[in-house]
Structure 1
Amino acid sequence: MHTGNKPYKCGECGYRTAQKYALSQHMRTHTGDKPYKCDHCDYSAAVKSTLDRHLAIHTGDKPYMCGECGYRTAQKYALSQHMRTHTGDKPYKCDQCDYSAAVKCSLDLHLAKHTGDKPHMCGECGYRTTKKSHLADHMRTHTGEKPYKCDQCDYSAAHKSTLNQHLARHTGEKPYMCGECGYRTTRKSQLS
């Protein structure tokens, strides 16, 4: 590290490193190998530290806290991103228009609007989308999977937002209100 000598070189792209383990980790970017598996879900990672951060989702451990509002998170980077809601900082700028974003993934999604790029495609029907998570949601229309379960009855839903609408029936909560007449509803679309 002190000499700057980086004897380990990637034959694919020329990446160099001082540590042999770092080259092994880097090679996974080319092979797609993700040997670190979560034993709670189907998530896998190329690097153990990434899996460790993921596991916090299952344990509920959220050691990072915002001093402004008390928001807690399992990942340090997520706290940094959250802090931008207080500062208004949007460091990720679009080079084609005046759009800017607080997080890089938001900029990446925005850029797809300029290019029309939708890299994620359904093998069943050809549906294409910019986000992998949208494709996963879409696939449930083919599989019939409904992973979001109500803890108060036997209802289940394919999407979390649909479950949240259902849960409002149990609580009686109607957060959307008309300013003209006071009508209240559980759904924003109904208020519209």
Structure 2
Amino acid sequence: MGRHVVKHSGAKPYMCGDGGYRTDKKSHLSRHTRTHTGERPYKCDQCDYSAAHKSNLEQHVAKHSGEKPYICGVCGHRANQKSDLTKHMRTHTGERPYKCDQCDYSAAQKSTLEEHQAKHTGEKPYMCGECGYRTAKRSTLYRHIRTHTGERRYKCGQCDYSAARKQYLIDHQTRHSGERPYMCGECGYRAAQRSTLSQHMKTHTGEKPYKCNQCDYSAAKKYKLSEHLTIHTGEKPFICEECGYRAARKPVLSRHMRTHTGEKPYKCDQCDYSASHKHHLIDHQTRHSGERPYICGECGYRAAKKSTLFQHMRTHTGETYKCGQCDYSAAHRSSFNRHLRKHTVKKT
């Protein structure tokens, strides 16, 4: 009865002496304290896994049995817990039952709401005992701690891949299963990863949330902004030892190196095609599926490749490639490149 009354009063009598975290339940404080001590009292009797929370151990044990009795009626996705299936269903329904009491934000998952609410309070109750790093989210602290330990606790059951983050393992496992549980409600596009679906949705909304603080450039993807920023700094710290080529980003150098090695790591699972760049494989796979996920917001035109959609958009915007040596301009880069060769031929 006493614990129930506390819910009405809003009192949080239990406080953490390390980080100032407060709660209305003693059991919650005990669980929180483990984020500081690293204690993992719940042990798996089939392997050396241990967990700070009982629910985490129960989820882990299901991996040994392989049982996934809960099935999504929309896409066939299987889950080993009913709560996981409930969360998955919201990717289809768009339901966001968790509401913020300080603004109009809502979330599909309780943990996401709790992360959002920390923005209002500024509270960062979770602290790293190694370096003093503080965060508003317990999951973020766990991930941070692995930067000290090097632990990769999430293991793939079909190959020797391991990951420091659960989401990385989930993304990896879709390569084995071919599963694409995340679906766009606008056009039916399906994705293996939630982040990929979020990126796809921006093709409908035109949203470009990543803003440059030095000019008016904005991007739909964070890495595109990072690439753009190098234009301002001019920094290219990554160097090819074969030819001296310099790159602003490490993945760009990695792609460049394949021009020397001939490596084509991206394999098609439906034919013997392979590619040196991931986006080339994605473009190729649309030939098998017939899928055209990129949609023009102006006229509904659909394209299999993002670059094709960008070219199409110029028919609406009138944007062109302009030659610096004459008054020629073109809507398509390929036409522009052909034109530039004429100047090169004349010089030779």
If the TM-score is normalised by the length of the shorter chain, which range does it land in? 0.5 to 0.7
Root-mean-square deviation over aligned CA pairs: 3.4
Name the counterpart of 1:139.
Answer: 201
Corresponding residue of 2:227: 165
Gaps of 5+ in 1: 1-12, 14-24
Contact 1:36–1:46 (CA under 8 A) maintained in structure 2: no
Which stretch has the larger CA shift, 115-124 or 65-74? 65-74
Residue 58 of structure 1 deviates from its aligned partner by: 6.8
SS in 1 for 2:115: helix
The residue aligned with 1:35 is: 98
Per-residue Cα deviation, 1:51-106 (whole angstroms, up to 9, x for no partner): 23323357765454445456543212211222223222222222222222222222
Moved more, 159-168 or 126-135: 126-135
| Counterpart in the other structure of 2:144 | 82
1:52 aligns with 2:114: yes
- TM-aligned CA distance change 1:35 to 1:63, over 3 Å: closer
User: Percent same amino acid among aligned pairs?
Assistant: 56
| Counterpart residue identity of residue 195, structure 2 | S
Secondary structure of the structure 1 residue equivalent to 2:152: coil
Letter in 1 for 2:145: M
TM (norm. structure 1) is 0.66
8 A contact 2:96–2:106 mirrored in 1: no
Size of the alignment, in residue pairs?
165
Q: Which of 86-95 and 36-45 deviates more?
A: 36-45
Q: Structure 1's 114 and 159: CA in aligned 2 closer, same or farther, altered over 3 A?
A: same
Q: Distance in 1 between matches of 2:220 and 2:150?
A: 34
Whole-angstrom CA distance in 2 between matches of 1:142 and 1:50? 24
How far apart, CA to CA, are the structure 2 residues paired with 1:72 and 1:150?
27
CA distance in 1, matches of 2:122, 2:246: 34
**1:1-192 map, 5 Å:** 34-37=97-100, 42-44=105-107, 47=110, 51-56=113-118, 62-68=124-130, 71-179=133-241, 183-188=245-250, 190-191=252-253, 192=256
Code of the aligned partner of 1:164:
S
Shift of 1:38: 7.8
Shift in Å at residue 135 of structure 1? 0.8
Alpha-carbon distance in 1 for matches of 2:109, 2:204: 29
5+ residue gaps, structure 2, are 1-69, 71-82, 257-348
Relative to 1, partners in 2 of residues 1:185 and 1:62: Cα closer, same or farther, differing over 3 Å? farther
Relative distance call for 1:96 and 1:85 in structure 2 (3 A) is: same
